Structure 1
Amino acid sequence: MMLRTYKYRLEPNKEQKEKLEATLDTCRHLCNNALGRRKLQAELYRLPITKQWITVENQINALPKQKQDNEYLSNVHSQILQDVLRRVNKSFTNFFRRVKNHEQPGYPRFKGSNRYNSFTYPQTGFKIVGKKLELSHVGKVNIKIHRSLTGKLKTCTIKRDIDVWYACFSVKIDDSLPEKKVIKSAVGIDVGINPLVALSNKEKTKPPKFLQQSEHKLAKEQRKLSRKQKESHNRNRQRIKVAKVHRRIKQQRMDFHHKLSRELVVQYDFITFENLKIKNMIRNHHLSKSISDVSWNMLQSFTAYKAEWAGKVVTFVDPKNTSQECSSCGKIVKKNLSIKVHNCPYCGLVLNRHVNAAINILKRVLIKVGLGYTDLMPVRGLAQDTPMTQEAHDFSRG
């Protein structure tokens, strides 16, 4: 059994938009109320008068009484309200897990009107009828089903993205994952800022730099925003303009990585990345913007799930010294980030530093599975650097 998510755009009319906005606002108020009760209980827990902790079951059982006291809660499907309380509980569970693991915890925060953008029908209250999505307490909303939805519907999440609405369906598919294919081609991938990816067969892909392309427009809109009076309608309209620029950059980046990850999965049966600690790398203020723009984690996650569905393999290896180690003789050749060519004084190998790292990445995982580097040579040969547009690089063209 597998779960898959389908995302479709909604086209609600004015009345339906108002109902969707009202539902979001109700969910936000309930979320903040539940969070406030948890915080108050945490303070009382330190006192000798009580040692009873509020649970999600307690809060769900209290919903009928809350509906009597707050009539606006009755305008929202009961399972949506229950899901809101489960979200609050999950945020606290994650908080305590991070504390236990000595990570940066981040205590759950109250949600402002612009920070709560989705609600979920966990089991009932929604139904697809032709080209419409019937939602409890909202009505029949036009939906753009651009691809067929297969499997058993489990949940429906309604999401607001600035001024656009989406329905995200979680679907259970009974079919098992495809059998792992016979590995005929393998590749190691070194991710970087420029090139974005370097493959162990010497192919390289330049980054599209979507943030850099939109930086001037983004700065212009942000300057306008800074001049607007706080809490005014003009400021809110300008805030939406800034958010739309960010949304366009995000969508361009996602589209590019979807295409690039698909090309990788189509061409190779066995794909290996470095297991990078990206959060730590972003702390370098000189590189943080560039690292965020190329979004390595997005590429890796897209490639991983596509490979799983295709019956192929994605693995991760320790990144230590992949750029410093010579892929030919194994000696360590120290070099800083400004040096782009690996020049080994021991064996004489001269190679692009990123390609050298990609070969080491592939070698490490092949050694783990008991294969040599020559047992699974990549299927493509040497390729030149290719300038990138919004189209992902077609590796088959070299």
Structure 2
Amino acid sequence: MAKLPYHYGMKVRCYPSSQQKAIVKRNSDASRFVYNEMVAIDHELFQLRQVKLPIDTVQQRIKQLEQRKKTTKSISNEHLFLYHKNIDSLSLANAKQNYAKAWKAFRKVHRSGIPVFHKKSYTWKYQTNAQYSGKISAPSLLNGSVRFLDRNHAKLPKVGAIRTSSVRNKIWQMRDTVRIGTVTITKDSADCFYLSFQLASLQPFINAVTFTNKKLGVDLNTENFLTASNGAVVANPRYYRKMLKQLNRQKRKLSRRQLRAKKEHRSLRDAKNYQKQRLRVAKLQAKVAHQRLNFLHNLTTELVKNHDLLVAEELRSSNLLKNHALALSISDVGWRLFLQQLQTKADLYGKTFVTVDPRNTTQTCSNCGFLLTGDHKLTLRDRSWQCPQCHVKHQRDHNSAKNILAKGISQLA
């Protein structure tokens, strides 16, 4: 897969039967168990290595744990339930590989944190691989261990044939030249199942790219979703705020049912009324997430297609969320996801996307470069201002977008 030049991700909805749901649940639990075993082994190894004395028992235990870490077969030999006929061996191997990737991400970017135990939840997930035998000369969507039977049905190891939503026209037209790498089976808290495919091909996944020689600076804010350097303004849809009243009402109802179940000493997993209400809340939350995701996908695709250079400010959402007055508005707009999508689609379309330090982009005049300081500094209330030096009137966000674009151009020079 890595040798192929073009890569693409595809996510489709799937509709498993009751038996297939049980198989997905078993594989998800087994995958989580192997991951947690790896975490537990490393925790124990860390504690044993603190013992400075050359105790034979300690040294022998360290060697035993290090041997168990090498292969998933060692863990399966100790926990025989992992050899169940419905458990995909590749899901266990991927759990071990994902644990190694988590450590690699921690060492590369320390903000990610060390791998921790995965707790049991209402979401299920495991990953498997598409394998192609040596007899297959041209791997495609139709001939691997994970394959599509037609546009609305896929076949997975252990799970078998499963109904899916329709594959996109472009991907289906390329079905003979596209190869499947990994596939992740997911169930979210709203009880919806999805298949996420990693695809690769020798041919590009998009049509011929048109270059427009246009450059755009983007200023992100909570008043409007964004203001561009060309003066365009995209309104903030505020999907979560619009749903907040209804969502809070359903959450209060969920809380009452939770208290009633606890008062009657019943497990929440066995409390049917609680589970019905939990599903209602999860579906409302999923609706907000899907609305926001659809909005961001449409917006980022339009921006990338119509501009050759995009410049945005580098925002640390985790730091901004510490401001309790703006935390709800910031989390509602989805800035981090917006920037990630711009970067991914810019790479896909062969365009350029850069982020710049937002320091002083609001307080600097885009016409003469004068920097506001002291008592002249703008506050959040100030939406327009006049430069004391060149006397040009500015709209706050538009001026900031111009400065962001200028910073991006100078950064690339």
Aligned residues: 365
CA distance in 2, matches of 1:34, 1:304: 33
Using the TM superposition, name which of 1-10 and 82-91 deviates more: 82-91
Q: 1:324 touches 1:332 (CA, 8 Å); kept in 2?
A: yes
The yes-or-no answer on 1:250 pairing with 2:289 is: yes
- State the identity %: 25
The yes-or-no answer on 1:175 pairing with 2:203 is: yes
Using the TM superposition, name which of 289-298 and 303-312 deviates more: 303-312
Which residue of 102, 113, 126 maps to 1:105? Answer: 113
**Which residue number in structure 2 is paired with residue 31 of structure 1?**
35
Specify the code of the residue in structure 2 equivalent to 1:118: K
**Which residue number in structure 2 is paired with residue 265 of structure 1?**
304
TM-score when normalising by structure 2: 0.81
CA distance in 2, matches of 1:143, 1:226: 35
Q: Identify if the C-alpha distance between structure 1 residues 176 and 259 changes in structure 2 by more than 3 Å, giving closer, same or farther.
A: closer
State the secondary structure of the residue aligned to 1:75: coil
Specify the code of the residue in structure 2 equivalent to 1:322: T
Specify the code of the residue in structure 2 equivalent to 1:331: F
Specify the code of the residue in structure 2 equivalent to 1:75: N
**Which residue number in structure 2 is paired with residue 386 of structure 1?**
none
Counterparts in 2 of 1:71-86, with a 5 A limit?
73-86=84-97
Using the TM superposition, name which of 13-22 and 314-323 deviates more: 13-22
Q: 1:177 touches 1:308 (CA, 8 Å); kept in 2?
A: no
Specify the code of the residue in structure 1 equivalent to 2:26: A
**Which residue number in structure 2 is paired with residue 338 of structure 1?**
381
Q: 2:102 touches 2:114 (CA, 8 Å); kept in 1?
A: no
Specify the code of the residue in structure 1 equivalent to 2:233: K
Which residue of 337, 350, 360 maps to 2:403? Answer: 360
Using the TM superposition, name which of 104-113 and 359-368 deviates more: 104-113
State the secondary structure of the residue aligned to 1:351: strand
Q: Identify if the C-alpha distance between structure 1 residues 182 and 261 changes in structure 2 by more than 3 Å, giving closer, same or farther.
A: closer
CA distance in 1, matches of 2:81, 2:101: 24
Q: Identify if the C-alpha distance between structure 1 residues 108 and 94 changes in structure 2 by more than 3 Å, giving closer, same or farther.
A: farther
Q: 1:56 touches 1:85 (CA, 8 Å); kept in 2?
A: no
* CA deviation map 1:219-268 (0-9, x unaligned): 11211222222532233332222222111111000111111112212322
Q: Identify if the C-alpha distance between structure 1 residues 95 and 204 changes in structure 2 by more than 3 Å, giving closer, same or farther.
A: same
State the secondary structure of the residue aligned to 1:70: helix
* CA deviation map 1:38-85 (0-9, x unaligned): 322222222242355637852424145246x32654421111111112
* CA deviation map 1:173-227 (0-9, x unaligned): 2236999865521111101001111111111111000010000111112112222
Q: 1:92 touches 1:108 (CA, 8 Å); kept in 2?
A: no
CA distance in 2, matches of 1:108, 1:64: 21
Using the TM superposition, name which of 155-164 and 207-216 deviates more: 155-164
**Which residue number in structure 1 is paired with residue 346 of structure 2?**
307
Specify the code of the residue in structure 1 equivalent to 2:88: H
Counterparts in 2 of 1:142-291, with a 5 A limit?
142-148=163-169, 149=171, 150=174, 151-162=178-189, 163-175=191-203, 184-227=213-256, 228=258, 229-230=261-262, 231-232=267-268, 233=271, 234-291=273-330
**Which residue number in structure 2 is paired with residue 382 of structure 1?**
none
Specify the code of the residue in structure 2 equivalent to 1:156: V
Give the drift of 1:353. Answer: 0.4
CA distance in 1, matches of 2:307, 2:225: 18
TM-score when normalising by structure 1: 0.84
Q: Identify if the C-alpha distance between structure 1 residues 348 and 168 changes in structure 2 by more than 3 Å, giving closer, same or farther.
A: same
Using the TM superposition, name which of 214-223 and 225-234 deviates more: 225-234
Point out which structure has higher relative CO (alpha carbons under 8 A, 6+ apart). 1
Specify the code of the residue in structure 1 equivalent to 2:130: Q
State the secondary structure of the residue aligned to 2:358: coil
CA distance in 1, matches of 2:67, 2:215: 49
Q: 1:11 touches 1:165 (CA, 8 Å); kept in 2?
A: yes
State the secondary structure of the residue aligned to 1:31: helix
State the secondary structure of the residue aligned to 2:364: coil
Structure 2: tracts of 5 or more residues without a match = 132-144
Structure 1: tracts of 5 or more residues without a match = 371-398
CA distance in 1, matches of 2:10, 2:286: 20
CA distance in 2, matches of 1:290, 1:253: 13
Specify the code of the residue in structure 1 equivalent to 2:193: W
The yes-or-no answer on 1:88 pairing with 2:99 is: yes
Aligned CA RMSD, in angstroms, stands at 2.5
State the secondary structure of the residue aligned to 2:66: coil
State the secondary structure of the residue aligned to 2:13: strand
Using the TM superposition, name which of 30-39 and 195-204 deviates more: 30-39
**Which residue number in structure 1 is paired with residue 66 of structure 2?**
54
Q: 1:121 touches 1:156 (CA, 8 Å); kept in 2?
A: yes
